[in-house]
Amino acid sequence: MLGPVLRSYKAGSIIYFIDDKGSDIFVLQTGRIMLISNSLDGKTEIKEEVHKGEFFGVKSALGLYPREETAQVLTDATVLSFNIQSFEAFCMNNTRIVMQMLKVFSGQLRKVHRKVRETLGQIADQENSIELLKTAEYFFKQSEKEHAKYALSAFLKHYTNSEWKDRATQLLNLVNSGQSYPLTMSSIEEEMEKKQSNNSFRQPQNFNITSDVKNTGSMQPPPLSSFGSSHDSHIPDIATDLDLSMTDDLDLSLDDNTQLTPSQIYYDGVNAFSQQKWDEAIAKFENVLSIKSFNNSSDAQFIEKSLFELGRTYSKKGDTTKCIEKFSEFVKKYPRSEMVKKAIIGVAEAYEKRGDKARAASLFNRVVTMPPKDRESNYAQQQVERLK
Amino acid sequence: MQLSGLSGKFGKEFEAGRIIFCEFEPGDSFYLIQSGKVKISKIVKDKEKTMDVLGPGDIFGEMAILEEQPRSATATAVDTVNTLHFNRENFVTLMTSQPQLAFKLLVIFTKRIYDARRRLMILLLDDIQAKVADVFLMLTEKEPNSNELKEILLFTTVDDIAHWCGEPVEKIHPVLSHWVKIGKLDLFPDKIHVMHLNDCRRIVQNKRREMKDF
């Protein structure tokens, strides 16, 4: 496999022009290089200087599309030039850099999507819930009952406060009992008109809608914040990909500790956990739990998750006392959580580690008896057998 | 790809016909197909329209790791499908242990960014004719040597064109019928024959230049 090639360019020369096709990827070594692009509406020219050690030309090379900027050499410069194969080989051995690029790219993608949505003046969140319900009803009408069941359950799970909850519940009951779509039921559109005309007589009462909006609108934990945390780049040379045509692409707000949301702190914790930095992870999860006020209800889910993760982290760390304490607290607080079986298993394993096999077995047994029968029940069953 | 070791941890199997996720359902995870086929479909005007059928090695639902947006399409298992299932929590573990997958995702993201930016460029044009012309150009660009093409048969519908323009169909129709009348277009129920791509290029270029000078 050929590695990258070192190339020299004279001041004033051009490495590539906007709209060129090319599959080379570059890293600036010495000298100065400017990337010149147009804003998407074509109204302004954007100039950005490449920092030493930064990649450029990555996206257009990987995506096989025309260059989005002109790379002009300001002072005599040397660059490392990769072709796609050598770049891929490089990536295989430098996961951290790939992760950083993913982070940058995802930030860019998020921004473009947001802009598209803004431009389209789009779709209030509550409309998504209605669209999901309509999709469910479409499946039901087509007698695709499993699909209908799935979509209705998804609706009821995600939009607990929806004003359409009763309708969805009613339909789900019908599917479950094997009946077909009730032809007598008025369509969602008709219902909406009815509601609207009702509302014109009374004060608007659609608290449901607004709480819906809040719910979904805020369900946007910082994308990919679970990627390598932004402060610990001990790779001095290659900081971030600079193949940017939008100036403000790097979402640096993540670095600002003062404004971190519960979800951001939570994902920082998850990130630390994945790097086996137990103490750091514990600090992050504790931090989430210490937050007293929440902007919205979806933030609250991160309390639940953080408490669970605390149990897990202490278990990894080998602190059985704390592990039992946290998992038990979780089970007490969130008896209906999807993760409750996992938490009980966590407690059982901690007791076993301490040599208390009887207690461990009885806890595993408790998991076995809890419906529904799933992977956790099977696992617990195996453990019960093993401990006999 | 050597992903067999991950199946135990992240594996998820779907029987034939089973729905994997549903259009408009909020999602926070994505899938890599290990075996089997997955149909990606949308319901358009009370009809289910298949957008794509994916196979082993393909990734779907990856937009969910960016933000918890509703799914833009429905994914259904065509036959028995084995997937690896990832969410934000196990994402880092996966990516660091499977660099080839991280690389693949990098490539997918570059394409997505390009497509989204290209779409935005159309939406930012402030003239309906230029928008429609630019949609034709965008669809043409998917062909090899698209720059040299003078005409093209696009397998698309008026609804699709309206969607890309971000405009209601009623606003698109007059533009298209005008072009049909002056012999620039042929409209079929399932395809559009664009006869003068150079005219489209000129309209769009002029519009962009005008916007720049403004």
Residue pair A59/B113 in contact (Cβ under 8 Å)? The answer is yes
Q: What is the DSSP string of A201-249?
A: HS---THHHHHHHHHHHT--PPTTTTSS-TT----SS---B---SSTT-
Q: Which one, of B43, B164, B167, B174, lies nearest residue A144 by Cα?
A: B43
Cis before A372? omega within 30:
yes
Q: Work out the minimum CA distance from B43 to partner chain A, whole angstroms.
A: 7
Tens of pLDDT along A45-90?
899 999 999 999 999 999 888 899 999 999 999 999 999 999 999 9
Tokens encoding A65: 């599309």
Q: Which of B96, B102, B109 sits opposite A109 (nearest CB)?
A: B109
Asked if A138's CB is within 8 angstroms of B48's CB, the reply is: yes
The ipTM is 0.81
Q: Work out the minimum CA distance from A113 to partner chain B, whole angstroms.
A: 7
* Distance between CA atoms of residues B210 and B127, nearest Å: 11
The pLDDT, as a whole number, for residue A221 is 34
Q: What is the percent of chain B where pLDDT is above 90?
A: 48
* Distance between CA atoms of residues A220 and A301, nearest Å: 12
The pLDDT, as a whole number, for residue A36 is 95
Lowest mean pLDDT among A155-159, B81-85, B141-145, B192-196: B141-145
The pLDDT, as a whole number, for residue A297 is 63
Among A23, A147, A215, the strongest candidate for a mutation testing the B interface, having the largest count of B CBs within 10 A, is A147
Q: Rounded to the nearest 10 degrees, how much is the dihedral formed by the CA atoms of B205, B208, B209, B214? A: 160
| Buried residues in A324-345 as b, exposed as e (16+ CB within 10 A) | bbbbbbbbeebeebebbbbbbb
The pLDDT, as a whole number, for residue A309 is 87
Q: Which of B25, B105, B111 sits opposite A102 (nearest CB)?
A: B105
Q: Are strands B74-77 and B152-154 parallel, antiparallel or unpaired?
A: unpaired
Asked if A98's CB is within 8 angstroms of B102's CB, the reply is: yes
Task: State the alpha helices, DSSP H only, in A318-374.
Answer: 320-333, 340-353, 357-369
* Res. B39 pLDDT band, cuts 50 70 90: very high
* Distance between CA atoms of residues A327 and A343, nearest Å: 5
Residue B4 is which amino acid? Answer: S
What is this structure's pTM? Answer: 0.59
Q: Which of B66, B102, B112 sits opposite A99 (nearest CB)?
A: B102
Residue A95 is which amino acid? Answer: T
The partner residues of A9 in beta bridges, in order of sequence, read A77
Provide, as residue numbers in chain A, all residues whose Cβ is less than 8 Å from the Cβ of B112.
Answer: 109
SS3 sequence of chain B:
CCCHHHHHHHEEEECCCCEEECCCCECCEEEEEEECCEEEEEEECCEEEEEEEECCCCEECHHHHCCCCECCCEEEECCCEEEEEEEHHHHHHHHHHCHHHHHHHHHHHHHHHHHHHHHHHHHCCCCHHHHHHHHHHHHHCCCCCHHHCCCEEECCCHHHHHHHHCCCHHHHHHHHHHHHHCCCEEECCCCEEECCHHHHHHHHHHHHHHHHHC
Tokens encoding A101: 């690029």
The pLDDT, as a whole number, for residue A127 is 78
pLDDT, averaged per 10 consecutive residues of chain A (388 residues), comes to 86 94 93 92 87 92 91 96 93 87 84 82 69 92 91 90 90 90 86 75 40 36 34 34 32 42 76 75 87 69 84 89 90 84 90 89 88 84 87
The pLDDT, as a whole number, for residue A122 is 59
Handedness of CA A155, A161, A163, A169 (dihedral sign): positive
Q: Which of B46, B116, B166 sits opposite A112 (nearest CB)?
A: B116
Q: Work out the minimum CA distance from A168 to partner chain B, whole angstroms.
A: 14
Q: Residue A230 class from Cβ within 10 Å (0-12 exposed, 13-18 middle, 19+ buried)?
A: middle
Among A82, A91, A135, the strongest candidate for a mutation testing the B interface, having the largest count of B CBs within 10 A, is A135
A160 vs B17, higher pLDDT = B17
Look at the block and give the residue holding tokens 């209605």.
A130
Residue pair B108/B62 in contact (Cβ under 8 Å)? The answer is yes
The pLDDT, as a whole number, for residue A274 is 65
Find the mean pLDDT for residues B44-51.
Answer: 81
The pLDDT, as a whole number, for residue A119 is 83
* Distance between CA atoms of residues A219 and B28, nearest Å: 10
Q: Which of B76, B107, B212 sits opposite A62 (nearest CB)?
A: B107
Provide, as residue numbers in chain B, all residues whose Cβ is less than 8 Å from the Cβ of A155.
Answer: 25
Asked if A106's CB is within 8 angstroms of B65's CB, the reply is: yes
Provide, as residue numbers in chain B, all residues whose Cβ is less than 8 Å from the Cβ of A42.
Answer: 208-209, 211-212
Tokens encoding A372: 């529904």
Question: From the centroid of its chain, how far is CA A325?
Answer: 29
B124 vs A220, higher pLDDT = B124
Q: Which of B67, B93, B212 sits opposite A274 (nearest CB)?
A: B93
Asked if B120's CB is within 8 angstroms of A108's CB, the reply is: no
Provide, as residue numbers in chain A, all residues whose Cβ is less than 8 Å from the Cβ of B88.
Answer: 221, 224, 226, 267, 270
Helix, strand or coil for residue A98? helix
Asked if B95's CB is within 8 angstroms of A95's CB, the reply is: yes
The pLDDT, as a whole number, for residue B146 is 83
Q: Work out the minimum CA distance from B181 to partner chain A, whole angstroms.
A: 30
Q: Work out the minimum CA distance from B99 to partner chain A, whole angstroms.
A: 5
